[in-house]
Structure 1
Amino acid sequence: MSPEFEKDFLRQRSTNIHELSRDPVRVLITSAMWIDGGYWLPYAVLYTVFHAQAERWLGTLRWLAVCVAAHVLATLISEGALLKAIHDGVAPHSAAYTLDIGVSYALAGVVGVLTYRIAAPWRYPYLAVVLIVYGVPFAASPTFTALGHFVSVLIGLACFPLARGRGKPWNPKETLAALRG
């Protein structure tokens, strides 16, 4: 795609305020099918590691429920916050057309729910790292995207009922002992 065509193509699939007001269902679905620019490799690696583990552990329907909940709810919350910022004069009106695509909110939700896959006490350092990775950018520069990622993690954590009873949690200590023989 030429850069101009790509920009227009992605903007029509963006979950920005303008597109959400025109056709919310279409853009909520199509925005999750694309990634912006050169970020495909990190998302491919994270998708493979986190999503594959989560889908195997939760089952396809529960995994998909976490992904959809995180993507849709975080999009609506973050774009709602941006709309308020526009109305309050904190953000420019042009922000309603900001490019907002990708699977990152779904990924952040899965990262959150995977907290319950890890046995205590190991889950607490994992949770601390997750909250730091997603919370520090939001605290340092509270953009709508940083808000969306942080909210996605919280949505993933709120999906505990989907994780309950899904088998024995993974214990890193047991894995290390097995590797040592």
Structure 2
Amino acid sequence: MLPEPDHAPTHISNAVRLTAALVPARYLPGADLAADLATAHGPAARTRVLLTAVARLRLAPLYVSTVLGVGLALDHLAGPRTRATIVAAHSTNVANLAQHRIWTLFTSVFVLGEPIGPLTVLPLLLLTGAAELLWGWRRLAEVFLLTHVIASCLVYTVLQEGLRRQWFGPAVVHAADVGTSYGAHAVAAALACSLPARARRVVVPAVLVLVLLPFADARTFTSLGHLLSTLIGLLAGWQLRHRPLAGRLRRPGTLRADRPVVYAFDTAGRAREALVTVLHLGEQRLIRLDDAVVAWSDALGGRPGRPYRLHDLETRDLGVADGALAGAAWGVVIGTLAGWPAFGLAAGAVTAAAVAGVHDAGLSDASIEQAIQSVPAGHAVLVLLTRPADRPRLSHALEGSGAVRLPATA
């Protein structure tokens, strides 16, 4: 029997169950908004849902307003020479980064090289606003700003190597490289990965074609930056769906203070649906979720010492490939600060991959294996690391999903 809920409102579990029904096997960031729109009857109700969601936007309007203000000041208050000087001072070009003017990696995202206009501001607001609605402002900031920084460092690495090998002329050293395009391309690509599977199969290839064609035609450093930003955005979107808890800070001593809570299911499909439900509870900040793992087993015909094969779906722990990509990204940034971006990229990839291979973040493999051993082969478990105060809410949200809470173990 599941424990009786003590402070979990009924409407929360109903909304989350509907979200899980819409996307039964895969977590999609922002699926709660899709569920609210699906249950709204008529255009007026859907408009109210959208307006309520838009009223919660914070980062997107603030960022676009800042870009608009800076652009209007450069267009109307600064002369052509002053404008050119400001743009050059905040460009992420070879001249600035070679002189360790690292602030340009951040200030360049607020400066536009061309005069500002409605066709510049409105698409940016719609794009970043949609991303904030689906992901929240923290994820928007991570995807937009980090991609802009990483792509700028990668372009600098390529240009530096190209100048050494005389692939480019000396004019590229002082070329202006400012604007919002790197971050915007990354957000658009990550949004494409946040779509349901049927739409994703069409939109993701289209996004790739839109950046591959200009790069194949012109092969400028700008088109290269757009291509790199799009690829990073696709990786970020994949990460948001498959490792939604990766990279989040955890309270000190979480594993020591809070024992995992385990729910058993008769099929892996039901456990995955329950995982979607729990992830959206965390997305709504209704619970504090530090880790979540679905695990199931199948028989191996009685192999001595290990009569089953363990499968798991982790939401926090990074694999070797994930670690290599993350390490390469941070390595090229740190390498740019030190003056050796290519070395930083390689060293970061190797180091992070090695650490990811031996480090077990979040729930330990031993605790997952212990949980799966407590249910018959073919069944599945959902192992969660949460605060004890959140567990009644979890049990209430998982009512009707076939979940059976197992007794606590050490």
What TM-score, normalized by structure 1, do the two folds share?
Answer: 0.85
Confirm or deny: 8 A CA contact 2:193 2:204 kept in the other structure: no
Query: Aligned residue for 1:37?
Result: 114
- For residues 85 and 139 of structure 1, what CA distance do their matches in structure 2 show? 17
Query: Aligned residue for 1:59?
Result: 136
Query: Aligned residue for 1:128?
Result: 205
Query: Aligned residue for 1:147?
Result: 224
Confirm or deny: 8 A CA contact 1:74 1:151 kept in the other structure: yes
User: Paired residue for 2:240, among 141, 162, 170?
Assistant: 162
- CA shift, 1:92, in A, is 1.5
Other structure's SS at 1:122 match? helix
- For residues 40 and 15 of structure 1, what CA distance do their matches in structure 2 show? 23
- For residues 127 and 135 of structure 1, what CA distance do their matches in structure 2 show? 12
User: Higher helix fraction: Structure 1 or Structure 2?
Assistant: 1
| Number of residue pairs aligned between Structure 1 and Structure 2 | 167
- Greater shift in the superposed pair: 39-48 or 65-74: 39-48
- CA shift, 1:152, in A, is 0.3
Percent of aligned pairs sharing the same letter: 25
- For residues 154 and 127 of structure 1, what CA distance do their matches in structure 2 show? 10
Query: Aligned residue for 1:16?
Result: 93
Other structure's SS at 1:23 match? coil
Instruction: Say whether residues 1:82 and 2:159 are aligned partners.
Output: yes
- Greater shift in the superposed pair: 97-106 or 69-78: 69-78
User: Paired residue for 2:103, among 15, 26, 36?
Assistant: 26
5+ long unaligned stretches in structure 2: 1-77, 245-278, 281-410
Query: Aligned residue for 1:118?
Result: 195
Query: Aligned residue for 2:149?
Result: 72
Confirm or deny: 8 A CA contact 2:189 2:233 kept in the other structure: yes
User: Paired residue for 1:97, among 159, 174, 195?
Assistant: 174
Q: Cα distance 1:163–1:65, how it changes in 2: closer, same or farther (>3 A)?
A: farther
User: Higher strand fraction: Structure 1 or Structure 2?
Assistant: 2
Query: Aligned residue for 2:48?
Result: none
Confirm or deny: 8 A CA contact 1:66 1:106 kept in the other structure: yes
- For residues 143 and 96 of structure 2, what CA distance do their matches in structure 1 show? 24
Other structure's SS at 2:198 match? coil
What TM-score, normalized by structure 2, do the two folds share?
Answer: 0.39
5+ long unaligned stretches in structure 1: 168-181
Confirm or deny: 8 A CA contact 1:115 1:126 kept in the other structure: yes
- For residues 169 and 116 of structure 2, what CA distance do their matches in structure 1 show? 26
Confirm or deny: 8 A CA contact 1:67 1:109 kept in the other structure: yes
Query: Aligned residue for 1:49?
Result: 126
Confirm or deny: 8 A CA contact 1:69 1:155 kept in the other structure: no
- For residues 206 and 115 of structure 2, what CA distance do their matches in structure 1 show? 25
Query: Aligned residue for 2:360?
Result: none
- For residues 43 and 49 of structure 1, what CA distance do their matches in structure 2 show? 11
Query: Aligned residue for 2:270?
Result: none
- CA shift, 1:2, in A, is 1.2
Query: Aligned residue for 1:106?
Result: 183
- CA shift, 1:40, in A, is 4.2
- For residues 74 and 161 of structure 1, what CA distance do their matches in structure 2 show? 18
- For residues 36 and 121 of structure 1, what CA distance do their matches in structure 2 show? 38
Q: What root-mean-square deviation, in Å, do the aligned CA atoms of Structure 1 and Structure 2 show?
A: 1.7
- For residues 94 and 85 of structure 1, what CA distance do their matches in structure 2 show? 12
Greater RCO, 1 or 2 (C-alpha within 8 Å, sep 6+)? 1
The one-letter code sitting in structure 1 at the alignment partner of 2:143 is V
- For residues 163 and 21 of structure 1, what CA distance do their matches in structure 2 show? 37
Deviations 1:73-109 (CA, angstroms, capped at 9, x unpaired): 1111112111222111121123111100011100000
Confirm or deny: 8 A CA contact 1:58 1:163 kept in the other structure: no
Other structure's SS at 1:25 match? coil
Q: Cα distance 1:39–1:82, how it changes in 2: closer, same or farther (>3 A)?
A: farther
